[in-house]
Amino acid sequence: MSGTIRAWLGPLVAVIGLFVLSGCGPVDLGGGGMNKANPPGLFTDATLVEYLENQFAEVKECAELAHGEFPEVTVVMMEPQFPCRWYEGGCSGEFVTPNTIKLGSPYVWKHEAIHYLLYVNTGHADADHQSRLFWDCV
């Protein structure tokens, strides 16, 4: 190894080591205090809301149903498989009249949105899944 490379190698390793270690331990935000705990609860970033809103718009367009808007729906995030009245083993999504969708997985969002849109437009959520929309728009 040449002398020039050897001369730079030691300080470079030290800088890399400090950089790697800088992510460890608490961070002082100034004023001598440590980070404060976040309030308890469930928080999501905007990407989940955007995803749900975009998927809702796709279902509504596919279903060609005039009534029902995304902001009118109450979304309750649940565990992936939660107790429900429909299945003994639990559900990963459930529409509860008049405007609540319990959601254990975003993968069932369109299906539950169809129940909501059918209810708002026809007064019947189609719990028996007879509508073609469950096949055509999911």
Dist CA 3 CA 27 (whole Å): 38
pTM over 0.75: no
Smallest CA-to-CA distance from 76 within 50, 44, 47 is with 44
Domain ranges for the chain: 46-136
CA distances to 65, 71, 75, 87 from 53, rounded to whole Å, are 16, 9, 11, 27
In tens, the pLDDT along 33-51 reads: 567 887 777 677 889 999 9
In what side-by-side order are the strands of the sheet with 74-77?
74-77, 100-103, 93-96
In tens, the pLDDT along 98-116 reads: 999 999 999 999 999 999 9
